[in-house]
Amino acid sequence: MIGVVNLFGDMTYEGGASINGQYLASLGASAAAISIIAGAAESLGYMLRAVSGYLADKTGKYWLITFIGYAINTLAVPAMALAGNWQTASALILAERTGRAIRKPTVEAMLSYSTGKHGKGWVYAVNTAMDETGALLGPLLITAALVMGAGFRKAYALLLISSLLVLMSLSIARLSFPVPSRLEKGGPWTAHASGFTRAYWLYMVAGGCFAAGVMSFEFISYHLSHLGLSEQLIPALLGLGTASAIVATLILGRAYDRIGIAAVVIGVVLTSLFSPLVFFGSVPLAVTGLIFWGIGYAVQDTLLKALIASVLPEDRRNAAFGVFYLGYGGGWLMGSIAAGLLYGRSRLALVIFVVVVQLAAVPLFLLAARESRTT
């Protein structure tokens, strides 16, 4: 049920993300502004999760918090059609990420109750695959709208339909599973840690390093538009990256349940290949680079969640996911600022930075996995 909710949710905000960069540029935003706005939005969307996770554990109102988050997350996207300048559009992008931050820890914590039965990698892989299916359909829908001459504003307005489907399917999920923790009763117990372990903190630092090299599509789309690609084609390329993420999610999620941390290392190394292809290559190489970029989202949305689910403290599940994303968002913000500043000065320095910070995460992941086995 959560996968269905996320399918419609990703149709909405990934559909919007596929044209956010071009839309901001059309309203007068510069390359540095677009990169920093996108990075600030993503980091805000991660860093606020610590607050919403804490509130969910403190109040027990996880469904209410989830509803509020999804409403802000999805309704801010069609509201982009009303933006009169790039500053207003930027504020709505920040609002969309804020809504995502509010609901993310509660959703991940609720899903964790089913991992004992189905496997950590597989549970988050299936959810992410449905998530990414929506992320594939959204940009394709926007591409079709633009090809038919709808324009940016009408394309954003079209996403109101999927926004309403999110809230409808979430209501069905709430009625079907009012107390998700009951899924764990009578089955394997998934949260064993008594608190935040050293392995948990190492996973957070490693995740921050990895996040520093995962660029938003808004920034990549800005670069692609300067390679001469048409505005109608760029959203379809987001669909290509998303299709790669769907396949990688299912493969890496199943692999994690079988070979553990080795699946994470493979995913990180493959992701590090995207920036040389995107920023050094011709159009065909840049398109190929988006396939490896999609693998990065599979690592982010499946493997990192599975790692944190393996070191969850039972009475602080929501907070554990929220605090992890605080570190992840900090890494994303620093990486986005660095990328935005380096882009106009040295593409070589930009690519070196991205590759180095992502590969630096590998030894940290391995150390954390060893700590997790010994505690």
The region of weakest confidence among 121-125, 160-164, 251-255, 263-267 is 121-125
Q: Give the integer Cα–Cα distance in Å for 272 and 360.
A: 10
Nearest CA-CA partner of 93 in 35, 50, 151: 35
Q: Give the integer Cα–Cα distance in Å for 257 and 239.
A: 27
Cβ–Cβ under 8 Å, residues 214 and 303: no
Nearest CA-CA partner of 339 in 289, 278, 255: 278
284: pLDDT strictly greater than 90: no
pLDDT band for position 269 (cuts 50, 70, 90):
very high
Total length of the chain: 375
Q: Give the integer Cα–Cα distance in Å for 242 and 228.
A: 22
366: pLDDT strictly greater than 90: yes
Average pLDDT over residues 304-320: 80
For 22, residues 6+ apart whose C-beta sits below 8 A from its C-beta are 152, 221, 222, 225, 231, 234
Average pLDDT over residues 261-275: 95
Q: Give the integer Cα–Cα distance in Å for 192 and 200.
A: 12
Instruction: Choose from 225-234, 236-245, 331-340, 355-364 the range with maximum mean pLDDT.
Output: 355-364
Q: Give the integer Cα–Cα distance in Å for 134 and 14.
A: 8
**Residue predicted with more confidence, 215 or 73:** 73
Cβ–Cβ under 8 Å, residues 195 and 116: no
pLDDT digits (tens, 9 = 90+) for 35-70: 788 878 877 777 788 888 888 888 888 899 999 999
The region of weakest confidence among 149-158, 170-179, 277-286, 344-353 is 277-286
pTM higher than 0.95? no
Average pLDDT over residues 309-331: 81
Instruction: Choose from 34-48, 79-93, 95-109 the range with maximum mean pLDDT.
Output: 79-93
Cβ–Cβ under 8 Å, residues 260 and 316: no
Q: Which two tokens stand for residue 35?
A: 């990169």
Cβ–Cβ under 8 Å, residues 228 and 350: no
pLDDT score of 187: 53
Nearest CA-CA partner of 146 in 231, 59, 31, 215: 231
310: pLDDT strictly greater than 90: no
The region of weakest confidence among 86-100, 200-214, 313-327 is 313-327
189: pLDDT strictly greater than 50: no
Beta bridge partners of 313: 193
134: pLDDT strictly greater than 70: yes
**Residue predicted with more confidence, 165 or 332:** 165
pLDDT score of 192: 56
pLDDT band for position 176 (cuts 50, 70, 90):
confident
**Residue predicted with more confidence, 232 or 133:** 133
The region of weakest confidence among 88-102, 180-194, 205-219, 325-339 is 180-194
pLDDT digits (tens, 9 = 90+) for 114-128: 777 777 788 888 888
193: pLDDT strictly greater than 70: no
Task: Show the domains of the chain with their CATH numbers.
Answer: 2-176+186-374 (1.20.1250.20)
**Residue predicted with more confidence, 359 or 42:** 359
Average pLDDT over residues 226-251: 81
Q: Give the integer Cα–Cα distance in Å for 273 and 286.
A: 11
Helix/strand/coil (H, E, C) string of the chain? CHHHHHHHHHHHHHHHHHHHHHHHHHCCCCHHHHHHHHHHHHHHHHHCHHHHHHHHHHHCCHHHHHHHHHHHHHHCCHHHHHCCCHHHHHHHHHHHHHHHHHHHHHHHHHHHCCHHHHCHHHHHHHHHHHHHHHHHHHHHHHHHHHHCCCHHHHHHHHCHHHHHHHHHHHHHHHHHCCCHHHHHCCCCCCCCECCCCHHHHHHHHHHHHHHCCCCCHHHHHHHHHHCCCCCCCHHHHHHHHHHHHHHHHHHHHHHHHHHCHHHHHHHHHHHCCHHHHHHHCCHHHHHHHHHHHHHHHHHHHHHHHHHHHCCCEHHHHHHHHHHHHHHHHHHHHHHHHHHHHHHCCCHHHHHHHHHHHHHCHHHHHHHHHHHHHHC
* Backbone φ and ψ of 313, nearest 5°: -80, 130
Cβ–Cβ under 8 Å, residues 325 and 46: yes
Average pLDDT over residues 271-283: 88
Write the burial class of residue 286 (CB in 10 Å: 0-12 exposed, 13-18 middle, 19+ buried): buried
